[in-house]
Amino acid sequence: MPELPEVQSTLNHLQAQIVGQTIQTFTARTTKLRWPIDPRLVHTLKGLKIQSISRRAKYLLLNTLLGNVVIHLGMSGSLQIVSKKSPAGKHDHIDLELNDHLLRFCDPRKFGAWLWIKNSDLKNHKLFAALGPEPLEDSFDGNCLWQMTRKKNTPIKQFLMQAKNVVGVGNIYASESLFAAKIHPLLPAHKLTHLQCQSLVHEIKTVLLAAISAGGSTLKNFITPDGKPGYFAQNHRVYGRAKQPCLNCHTTIEKINVAQRSTFFCPQCQINN
């Protein structure tokens, strides 16, 4: 499933090829993605110039002077720039025709989304109003995490994965950053010290940036020949390593469930108090 780094890498990859281009046509070959595609998009989008592209959580926003084409990759979606003559495959559900090429959306499992949100409605839209801070912004720092966690009994791993607290820290990145910061995933959030909050925020940013930079170099292979998005082969330090020795201390890595999600940790390195 595309996580924040894949979405950011997609943005970085697309930027130069879509900003400044004008939408010629919008073609949807299905009406059913995660939410129905509004048939009015054909008329709404025609002639709009894409001023910029941005990201909020795992949503990509093609910004125009009137509003935003909001795209979510869902479970299996991917975006590609292709020539206008390129025939659409079975799972190529949407084409946005620009001046020079098509922006094509492929989504085998159809959990992705394409929406139109006017600029005036964006801030208070239900998709965005309740979202926590972006993990890579400077305002998300150790002090911010410390203040947010003071009255929270939630295990810190679960806390990190709730978008109302901070967006885009998916399951893998939560396990990896807690391992790097030497914090037990079940530690109640309010028990983190100020120093632990600083360390954890630093590690969250580090793992996300490493994944984005890996994406930047592998994105040209983003679609594999069988049509599946080729999400990055990651070098996980703890995730998926149950029963293997810890890379720091050789203690056996344990796997537990936290809020129904597989969670990996070293019982020696990651302290629970």
Which is closer to Zn ion, CB of 54 or CB of 251?
251
> Annotated catalytic, 118?
no
Catalytic-role residue among 56, 182, 261, 267: 261
Token digits for 211? Answer: 């994944």
* In the complex, minimum distance from the CB of residue 260 to Zn ion, in angstroms, rounded to a whole number: 25
Nearest position to Zn ion, beta carbon: 246
Closest CA to 72 of 57, 89, 91: 57
Catalytic-role residue among 2, 5, 155, 185: 2
> Annotated catalytic, 2?
yes
Residues near 178 by Cβ (< 8 Å), separated by ≥ 6? 156, 157, 160, 184, 185, 200, 203, 265, 270
Residues near 120 by Cβ (< 8 Å), separated by ≥ 6? none
> Annotated catalytic, 58?
yes
Which is closer to Zn ion, CB of 21 or CB of 268?
268
* In the complex, minimum distance from the CB of residue 13 to Zn ion, in angstroms, rounded to a whole number: 36
Which is closer to Zn ion, CB of 163 or CB of 271?
271
Which is closer to Zn ion, CB of 154 or CB of 248?
248
Catalytic-role residue among 5, 6, 55, 58: 58
Q: Where along the sequence are the contacts to Zn ion (CB under 5 A)?
A: 246, 248-249, 251, 266, 268-269
> Annotated catalytic, 56?
no
* In the complex, minimum distance from the CB of residue 255 to Zn ion, in angstroms, rounded to a whole number: 14
Paired residues of 242 in beta bridges: none
* In the complex, minimum distance from the CB of residue 168 to Zn ion, in angstroms, rounded to a whole number: 26
Contacts by residues 34-42 (CB-CB < 8 Å, ≥ 24 positions apart): 34/72, 34/74, 34/110, 34/111, 34/112, 34/113, 35/113, 35/115, 37/94, 37/114, 38/115, 38/116, 40/116, 41/114, 41/116
**Angle at the Cα of 3 from the Cα atoms of 173 and 126, rounded to 5 degrees:** 115
* In the complex, minimum distance from the CB of residue 181 to Zn ion, in angstroms, rounded to a whole number: 13
> Is 204:177 a contact under the CB 8 Å cutoff?
yes
Which is closer to Zn ion, CB of 248 or CB of 262?
248
Catalytic site residues? 2-3, 58, 261
